[in-house]
């Protein structure tokens, strides 16, 4: 049985990697043919001030690198997930053994990955339109408020699924204990989803976000496997396979960027997977989320610290520029050094969170 579980978890991600590589050619051809890249680069900070350092680091308008690379991740995940499921209905035993779709483990994370990806795709497409006169950030994209609203709605639906469909309304604690929350489980779920999504600003350097998300989803694949949630482990592994296919083309010089169509789906789904490995499995996957996702949390914190310092200390900054990875760039680190060191740190924290979840 262990061998069958290992095969079920490791074969589908190989398929998603191969599928991801295959669909990249037509997708990138389309992206470059129609010049689907941002038509204006970042010129202002989140508080509306001029951002010359950030603008110098992200000359998106001049680099002519398309958005929407995140489609590789969720499209390859859909193709492999549904493809194996459909083939399993033919009666072929090999596909019956590989089928990892299940109501209790994979429906909701697959839903959030796809729906988050679709909403992000809309935002990415709108950013490829010409920016209106006087625009600060990126022309045509969904406003921050609209994106947060979309994330909140997906979080609310997911919380409802856990609360009503799966009967989960508590957080797992070490030692087999749990913290009963009742209806408060729903708003807490939404807050955590939004909090993880806020770390999506880490998608700012070639290869950076792809490597980090591969490590984070690998950690939760390991946790789910240990908990005998084999279908969930397989799903997480399939996502990793899609991310690695994306990363193959995203390492410098990037063929495309992850952008919102990847970041929105991946961040929301990461939070959902954390809850799937929590009280539902008599464990505490949510408690280790801040460790496994520490690079995202630190990124969000650096933005908050920078804005707070400028408002409370008369414009004085803590970092040369926020978020933190851009600070290191502004300090003189080459982008590849920032990326590789973040990868190393991301793997270390992913392993640490994985180990703590098993204790």
pTM of the complete model:
0.92
φ, ψ dihedrals at 44, nearest 5°: -135, 155
Q: Provide the β-strand partners of residue 177.
A: 173
More confident residue, 73 or 44: 73
- Give the Cα separation of 283 and 227 in Å (integer): 8
H-only helix segments in the chain: 2-33, 52-57, 60-63, 71-88, 93-98, 107-127, 144-160, 185-198, 208-226, 230-250, 259-276, 289-292, 294-312, 324-330, 335-358
More confident residue, 223 or 131: 223
Total number of residues shown for the chain: 359
Mean per-residue pLDDT for 53-82? 80
Q: Provide the β-strand partners of residue 173.
A: 177
Tokens of 114: 């796809």
Q: What is the mean pLDDT of the chain?
A: 90
Residue 138 sits at the vertex; the CA angle it makes with 134 and 142, to the nearest 5 degrees, is 110
Helix axes 2-33, 230-250, angle to 10 degrees: 30
- Give the Cα separation of 226 and 102 in Å (integer): 18
**Span 86-119, pLDDT tens digits:** 999 998 899 999 999 999 999 999 999 999 999 9
**Span 169-228, pLDDT tens digits:** 999 999 889 999 999 999 999 999 999 999 999 988 999 999 999 999 999 999 999 999
User: Is pLDDT of 47 > 70?
Assistant: no
- Give the Cα separation of 50 and 327 in Å (integer): 16
């Amino acid at each position: 049985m262990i061998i069958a579980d290992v095969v079920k978890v490791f074969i589908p991600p190989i398929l998603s990697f191969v599928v991801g590589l295959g669909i990249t050619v037509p997708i990138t051809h389309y992206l470059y043919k129609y010049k689907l890249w941002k038509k204006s680069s970042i010129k202002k900070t989140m508080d509306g001030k001029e951002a010359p350092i950030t603008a110098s680091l992200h000359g998106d308008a001049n680099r002519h690198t398309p958005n929407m690379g995140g489609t590789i991740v969720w499209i390859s995940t859909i193709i492999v997930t549904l493809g194996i499921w459909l083939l399993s209905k033919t009666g072929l035993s090999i596909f019956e053994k590989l089928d990892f779709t299940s109501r209790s483990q994979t429906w909701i994370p697959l839903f959030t990955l796809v729906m988050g990806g679709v909403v992000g795709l809309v935002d990415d497409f709108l950013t490829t339109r010409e920016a209106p006169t006087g625009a600060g950030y990126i022309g045509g994209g969904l406003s921050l408020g609209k994106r947060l609203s979309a994330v909140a709605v997906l979080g609310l639906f997911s919380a409802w699924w856990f609360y009503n469909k799966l009967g989960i309304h508590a957080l797992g604690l070490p030692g087999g204990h749990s913290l009963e929350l009742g209806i408060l489980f729903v708003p807490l779920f939404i807050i955590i989803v939004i909090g993880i999504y806020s770390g999506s600003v880490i998608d700012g350097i070639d290869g950076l976000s792809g490597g980090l998300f591969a490590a984070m989803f690998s950690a939760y694949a390991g946790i789910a496997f240990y908990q005998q949630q084999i279908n969930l482990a397989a799903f997480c592994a399939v996502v990793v396979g899609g991310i690695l296919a994306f990363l193959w083309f995203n390492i410098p010089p990037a063929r495309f960027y992850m952008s919102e169509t990847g970041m929105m789906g991946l961040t929301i789904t990461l939070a959902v997977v954390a809850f799937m490995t929590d009280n539902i499995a008599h464990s505490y996957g949510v408690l280790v989320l801040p460790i496994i996702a520490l690079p995202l949390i630190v990124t969000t914190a650096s933005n908050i610290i920078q804005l707070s310092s400028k408002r409370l200390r008369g414009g004085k900054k803590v970092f040369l520029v926020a978020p933190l990875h851009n600070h290191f760039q502004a300090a003189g680190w080459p982008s590849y050094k920032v990326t590789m060191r973040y990868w190393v740190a991301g793997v270390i924290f992913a392993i640490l969170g994985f180990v703590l979840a098993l204790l």
